[in-house]
Amino acid sequence: MAELGIPQNTIAVLQKYGFRFQKKYGQNFLIDTNVLERIVKEALVGPEDLVLEIGPGIGTMTQYLAEAAREVVAVEIDRNLIPILEDTLSAYSNVTVLNEDILKVDIGALVRERNEGRPVKVVANLPYYITTPIVMELLESRVPLENITIMVQKEVAERMQMGPGSKDYGALSLAVQYYARPEIVANVPPNCFMPRPNVGSAVIRLTLHKEPPVKVRDEHRMFQLIRASFLQRRKTLANALANAPETGLTREEVQEALQKMELSETIRGEALSLEQFALLSDLLPV
């Protein structure tokens, strides 16, 4: 099968099958061999690895992954792509395509069955409409993962890397940094895709921590507080947390904890680091 990273070959496959792009599935296929090579290199995929690919499309990146890895499992929601993938990946005996919604796949079971529970690598040019739910599901599921190398909207990649003091810092930054070390490894312009997205893209590698960088008594409670403080990010932290019924907190309780931390009572959540959110969570009543 011809290399799909070359635009003419992608066009030929799309025409052969009369494929119509579905906007609702965030379909922007890669048509740049340099970018494809770069992603697989930055994902540090080797011959021992099981790779989980989310959204293979017509199999462009899957071909590169199949060359580099021991085994690839590719999960694609669009059933119209399945016959195309059977064709474009027919030369590879180490690829399994599952016609499923990634948010409904039991990734833990898949890793146990196919990789004896050893950590897998996730590589994907993600559908942008569900980037955050996919990333959060992967991080929170506690599935053994070594790294996650994904193409996402440039602004989202930047948000994942941000620290306190930036307007882009938020719940996603804190969640990603609690579980992993994020590194933007490439910026990718719209002309590397077909059709072109109307946003810039970036490849980000999340290397999972062996141990979280901060200790907290109850991480679910910490993330509940983080979400509540960024939902009303222009309010003071004390007001934002007291206004969110799920926290069960009063303004006075939050102010008291802030005093113990030697922080201003009028501080906003966006000024707190991950370490400070962990401490705050431990100081507040549950």
Task: Say whether residue 103 binds ligand SAM (CB under 6 A).
Answer: yes
Options 51, 61, 152, 160; binder of ligand SAM; rule CB under 6 A: 61
Residue appearing with tokens 């599901």: 137
- Whether the bond between 195 and the residue before it is cis, its omega within 30 degrees of 0, is yes
In the bound state with ligand SAM, the residue whose beta carbon lies nearer, of 78 and 270, is 78
Residues 130-159 that bind ligand SAM (CB under 6 A): 130
Phi and psi for 27 in degrees, rounded to 5? -90, 105
Binding piece for ligand SAM, criterion CB under 6 A, among 48-56, 141-149, 200-208, 227-235: 48-56
- List the one residue out of 211, 152, 162, 210 whose CA is nearest residue 182: 162
In the bound state with ligand SAM, the residue whose beta carbon lies nearer, of 54 and 278, is 54
Q: How far apart are CA 102 and CA 216, in angstroms?
A: 30
**How many binding residues for ligand SAM (CB under 6 A)?**
22
Strand partners, 150: 124, 204
Q: Is the dihedral of CA 14, 18, 21, 27 positive or negative?
A: negative
- List the one residue out of 149, 228, 218, 138 whose CA is nearest residue 179: 138
Closest CB to ligand SAM: residue number: 55
In the bound state with ligand SAM, the residue whose beta carbon lies nearer, of 155 and 275, is 155
Binding piece for ligand SAM, criterion CB under 6 A, among 43-51, 122-130, 211-219, 235-243: 122-130
Binding piece for ligand SAM, criterion CB under 6 A, among 53-61, 64-72, 139-147, 164-172: 53-61
Closest approach of ligand SAM to the CB of residue 67, in Å: 15
In the bound state with ligand SAM, the residue whose beta carbon lies nearer, of 54 and 176, is 54
Contact 212, 226 (CB under 8 A): no
The count of C-alpha atoms lying within 13 angstroms of the C-alpha of 64, restricted to the half-sphere facing its C-beta, is 27
DSSP-derived pairing of the beta strands 71-75 and 50-54? parallel
Closest approach of ligand SAM to the CB of residue 199, in Å: 12
Task: Say whether residue 125 binds ligand SAM (CB under 6 A).
Answer: yes
Closest approach of ligand SAM to the CB of residue 60, in Å: 4
Structure tokens at 181: 């070390």
Residues 7-26 that bind ligand SAM (CB under 6 A): 25-26
Provide the mask over 67-96, with x wherever binding to ligand SAM is found by CB under 6 A and - wherever it is not: --------xxxx------------------
Options 30, 35, 160, 188; binder of ligand SAM; rule CB under 6 A: 30
Contact 247, 228 (CB under 8 A): yes
Q: How far apart are CA 86 and CA 7, in angstroms?
A: 20
Helix, strand, coil shares, percent, the chain, to 5: 45, 15, 35
Which residues form the interface with ligand SAM (CB under 6 A)? 25-30, 54-57, 60-61, 75-78, 101-103, 125, 127, 130
